[in-house]
Structure 1
Amino acid sequence: MRICFPVSQEKGWESPVFGHFGSAPAFVIVDTDSGQLEEVTNGDLHHAHGMCQPLKALGGRQVDGVAVGGIGMGALMKLQAQGITVYRAVEGTVKDNLAMLKEGKLPVFSSDWTCAGHGHAGGCAHR
C-alpha cells in the first residue's frame, strides 16, 4: 500500500506532517510493503482557494491513501472519487503517523472535519 503524507519539510521519516493538504510544500509517499520512501514537491501549491488538484499536486503518482491533518471538501471528494482513502493524521512525523495508521489509530477523514477556509496567517480554519 502506498500512503501519502503532506509535509512541511522534506526530512524523510522525520518529516513533520503538515496540517493542510493543498498548501503542503511537499509530500512523502511511503510504500508500506517495501518500506521505500519518495519525497515529492507539491506540483499544485499555488492554486486558488477551493481549486486544489490533488493528483496534479502529487505529480501523477498513484497512492492508496493520504494521511493529513486538514483538507478541503473539494480535495477530499476528488481523492475519494479516485478510490483513495483519506485518514486524519495527528501532529508528529511521517514515522509516528505511519505507526498509528498500521495500528488502526488514524480515523478515516469525515466530511465534517474538512477545512472551511484559511485564516489570516494562511492556516486552516477547521470547523
Structure 2
Amino acid sequence: MRTWICVLLAGSLLASGGAVGQASGGNTGPAAMAKTGLGQSGNSNDLSVDSLWKVYAFERKGIRYLQVDDQSGTPRAAIAYIGDTFWTLPIGQDVDRVSTPQEPIAIPSGAVQRVVYQSKDVQLSAFESASGVFWRISTP
C-alpha cells in the first residue's frame, strides 16, 4: 500500500513540474501546443520570452501556428508554418507588418529588435518603430 502511495505522489510531482515548465515557456514542443483557440486571447500557455508580449502555440494536423497578443490580450499577428514554410494568417492588427522568408517585407531602419519567441524550429522577433510594430519569423 505504501509503495502505491509513493508512486502516486512521485507521479503527481513529476506532472506538476512539467506543467510549470510549460507555463514558464520552458517547453515549446508539441506537448505545449494547444489544439484549439487560435484567434482568441489567452486560450493556451504563454510561451513568450519577452514580458511585453504573449505568444501562444497551436498545432493541428501537422501545421503549427503562433499567435502574438499584446499585454491587453489583443491579437497582433498569427503565423502558420510547416518546416521552413511560413504563412501570415489574417488575424491581428499587425497582419500587414509580418515578414516571412516567403514574403519578406522591409523593416524600418532604426527599428528596435526584441526576440519574442524562440524554439528549435523558429524565431519570432518584434521590431518596434515610429511606424508601429513589425514582425519577422525565421528559422534560427
TM-score of the two chains, using structure 2 as the length reference: 0.29
TM-score of the two chains, using structure 1 as the length reference: 0.30
Q: Which protein has the larger Cα radius of gyration, Structure 1 or Structure 2?
A: 2
Higher relative contact order (Cα pairs below 8 Å, separated by 6+ residues): 1
